[in-house]
Amino acid sequence: MNSIELKQVSKSFKDGSKTIEALKETDFSVQPGEFVAIIGPSGSGKSTFLTIIGGLQQPSEGSVFIADQQFSELKEKERAKRRFKEIGFILQASNLVPFLTVKEQLMLVNKVKKSNIDQERIKKLLSELDIMDLADKYPSDLSGGERQRAAIARALYHDPTVILADEPTASLDTSRAFEVVEILARETKNKKKATIMVTHDERLTTYCDSVYIMKDGVLEKKLEE
């Protein structure tokens, strides 16, 4: 089974009379428990790639499958539903809601799903990420590293198939950055998630199973050195 599979996916934009190919035809897949890094200079199409997988935009050609099910061709509303269920996002700075405590960030998932709040699961997850003491704090009271750990907890809480991390360490110093990526790698293995991390910091890829380089819309696998 593939958690993520892209079949001949490409994306092009019209810019006036010119057509810009942001992503050239790509085949790509990630298995459960696999941690993939995508590196490349800014403007290379990394974010486009990630947002197509996340269903925030549709590919011009080809299809995206999540958990072996057609995803990219679903209607916007259906995609939002699937996204909520299958995909956990971790973004650069703050994808936390500023007026919710760490614990409430997780509870929001239950509120949206109209399911019961699983206090045990919240406790377990926060302890695993070592932020149990911060459960009742607001994002503004947390350090950058703590915030990203809270964001990881939030992304894992609804038990998605896929985790998409867009520059999750951008606002952190080196040691914090390593710590966060290490946690991400550990959770990927333990919980059998398919994780894609977009980063520009090549040193962080030591924790990853495979590394891809994005350059001018072309995705290439980086060979083991």
Partner 1 sequence: MFLAWREIKHSKTRFALIIGIVVLVSYLVSFLTGLAYGLAQENRMAVDKWDADGIVLTNESNLNLDSSMFDEDISDDITSPEMAELTVSSNIVRIEDSEDTEDNIDVTLFGIEEDGFLNPEISEGNSFADGTVVADQSLKTEDGLEVGDTLKISGQDRTLEIAGFTENAKFRVGPVLYTNVDTVESIKYDDDQLSENTAYPINSIIVRSDEDLEDVAVDNEDVEVYPISEFINNLPGYNAQVLTFGLMIGFLVVIAALVIGIFIYVLTLQKASMLGVMKAQGISSGYIAKSVIAQTFILALIGVLIGFGLTIATGLFLPTAVPYQNNYLFLIATMVALILFALIGAVFSVRTVVKIDPLEAIE
Q: Report the interface residues with partner 1, using CB under 8 A.
A: 47, 50-51, 54, 56-57, 77, 80-85, 87-89, 91, 95, 97-100, 104, 107-108, 111-112, 138, 166
Q: How far is the CB of 74 from partner 1 (least distance, A)?
A: 12
Residue placing its CB nearer to partner 1 in the complex, 85 or 222 = 85
Tokens of 145: 């590293």
Residue placing its CB nearer to partner 1 in the complex, 128 or 166 = 166
Q: How far apart are CA 17 and CA 15, in angstroms?
A: 6
Neighbours of 37 (CB within 10 A): 24
Q: How far is the CB of 91 from partner 1 (least distance, A)?
A: 7
Q: How far apart are CA 2 and CA 162, in angstroms?
A: 11
Residue placing its CB nearer to partner 1 in the complex, 29 or 51 = 51
Question: Cβ distance 196 to 38 under 8 Å?
Answer: yes
Q: How far is the CB of 109 from partner 1 (least distance, A)?
A: 9
Q: Residues 110, 115, 117, 120: is their CA dihedral positive or negative?
A: negative
Q: How far is the CB of 111 from partner 1 (least distance, A)?
A: 4
Q: How far is the CB of 225 from partner 1 (least distance, A)?
A: 31
Residue located via tokens 């109209």: 114
Tokens of 43: 């403007």
* Residues 121, 92, 148: CA angle, nearest 5 degrees: 35
Residue placing its CB nearer to partner 1 in the complex, 170 or 189 = 170
Residue placing its CB nearer to partner 1 in the complex, 56 or 213 = 56
Strand bridging mode 69-70 / 87-90: unpaired
